[in-house]
Every structure is written in C-alpha cells, then in structure tokens.
Amino acid sequence: MPTIYLDVLLLQSLYVNYFLLRAAAKLTHTPLHWIRCGLAAAGSSLFSLLILLPPLPAWFQLVCKLLAAALSVTMAFGLHRESFFRQWGCFFLCNFLLAGAILGIGSLTQKGFATWGNSCCYLDFSLFQLILFTAAAYSLLHLCTLLRGRKRHTDSRFQVFLRLGERRLMLDGLADTGNNLTDTFSGTPVIVCSAAALEPLLAGTPVEQLRGYRLVPCTTVTAEGLVPLFRPDEVCIRNLSTEKSRSVHAMVGIAGTQPSAIFHPMLME
C-alpha cells in the first residue's frame, strides 16, 4: 500500500463529502446551509479512517457505509420522516456514481491514482486536479438541475392546509420560484403567509409562543427586514389541477398582506 497521509486523507474526505451532500441537496431540492453541510462533511470524513485498518468483512464495510450515509444526511438535513429516505438514497447514489467514475477513470490510466481499502478511497490527486474534477462534476449537476427546473410548471392552482394543535386552516396556495426564503438554522423552506390570513389559525396566540419561533432575515427588491417563523404541526399542499396532495416539511413565515400562502414549487417535487 502506498503512503497515506492522515491530514490529506481527512481533507480529501471532507472536501468530497461536502460536495456529495450538496449534490444530494440539489437532487432532492432541499435547502442546505453551508455551515451545516461543512459540519456534516467533517463528521462523516472520520469514516475514511477505515482505510487504515486491516481488510474488514464485506458485510461490515456495507454496514459502515450505510451508517455513514445515514449520519451524514441526518447531520446535514435533520431527521425528518417524510424526506429522510429520499435524501439518504440520493446521497448514497452520489457516492456510488463517484466511486464508479473514479474506477472508470483509473482503468484508463497506466498508473492508478486511487488507493482503495475497506470501501474507502485515497486519491493521489493534486489539489488543483481535485478542484477541476469537482467543478466539472458540479457544473454538470447544476446544468441537469436547470434543465429540470425549466419543466416545472407554476400555473396550477393549489391549496395549503395548516394545522396547529387542534386548529386547522386552509388557504389558497401560490407556487412562486421567487420565494427562496429558508430557515437559517435548519435550511427548512418557508411558506409565507400574511398575519391576517393566519389569524384563524393563531387565534390571538402571540407568535413568540409558537413552536420553533425565530426571526430570519429577508431581502426583497424594495426592502429588507426580519420575518418571524414558526413550525406548524402539519403542512399539506394539494394541487387542484392534478388532485394530488403531499405532506411537506416546512415552516411558516409571517409577512406581507396577500391572502394566499406563497411557497416554492420544489415543495411539490
């Protein structure tokens, strides 16, 4: 086995895991704050130390891989029943595609540039080559995302159902790609409603007493300020054109005077 430098191994793993999590976030249309992504990548990079151990049984390597992917996704996106397996599957798929690409490129070179051990990889890359490779792969992924976005239709009619304890509220929904507001801490997308529209749901309860209350900065074309958020007990969006309903993981922001609930179309994907 060639010499493996521990600092290079951990930095490579952190770097690769960061962009794999970014790729999973793009594929699942999940907002991901760069700080959470970096912390999750740093934590999961510790699994790369398995390459330094003697050969382990195949089943144990698989369990470690599945566990590493689950922990990475949980640290990056949080543990949400309705989206966890989709995010975990996309992250695991991105890992397999990257491993396949490394094996494919390595087979075309006279001297392999990757060292494998216990399903972990150590790349004999210069930093510049690694950046170029990542930029090319990420640009391709971004192009695919843009092409998918062109097929997204926002002219359908929607209804947004909100539940807070025993109180329920149904609002007309508006899918707007301009609503990119997310919770700064968790990366959760935000559905924007006016205070007047939410009054039947809040029933006079101060927003500061609601679960998940916090203030997040919001910038528009004409102004900027802080938007209060809270986390309802249930959010469901129904497409009246297709008659399909979907429970979504989202927070509610109180802003504007519009009677409808404004959400990003990615919540329906």
Tokens 């129904």 sit at which residue? 238
Task: Identify the pLDDT of residue 237.
Answer: 92
User: What is the token pair recorded at 98?
Assistant: 């990257």
Q: Is the pLDDT of residue 152 over 60?
A: no
Residue-wise pLDDT for 23-45, tens only, equals 888 777 677 778 888 899 998 88
What single letter denotes the amino acid at residue 193?
C
Q: Is the pLDDT of residue 222 over 60?
A: no
Nearest residue to 189 (alpha-carbon basis) of 267, 268, 73: 267
Stretch 128-155: mean pLDDT, rounded?
66
Spatial strand order of the sheet with 261-263 comes to 214-219, 224-230, 251-254, 190-193, 261-263, 167-175, 158-164, 234-239, 244-247
- The DSSP secondary structure of 48-104, one letter per residue, reads GGGGGSPPPPHHHHHHHHHHHHHHHHHHHH---TTTHHHHHHHHHHHHHHHHHHHHH
Report the chain's C-alpha Rg in angstroms: 22
Helices of type H across the chain:
6-27, 34-44, 58-77, 84-107, 127-150, 195-202
What single letter denotes the amino acid at residue 72?
S
Task: Identify the pLDDT of residue 193.
Answer: 94
For residue 59, how many other CB atoms are within 10 A of its CB?
Answer: 8
Q: Is the pLDDT of residue 219 over 90?
A: no
Q: Is the pLDDT of residue 132 over 80?
A: no
- Where does 158-268 sit in CATH, by number? 2.40.70
> pTM (2 decimals)?
0.58
Q: Are 234 and 247 in contact, with CB atoms under 8 Å apart?
A: yes
Q: Is the pLDDT of residue 112 over 80?
A: no
Beta bridge partners of 238: 159, 245
3-state SS assignment for residue 168:
strand
Query: Please, which pLDDT band fits residue 8 given cuts at 50, 70 and 90?
Result: confident
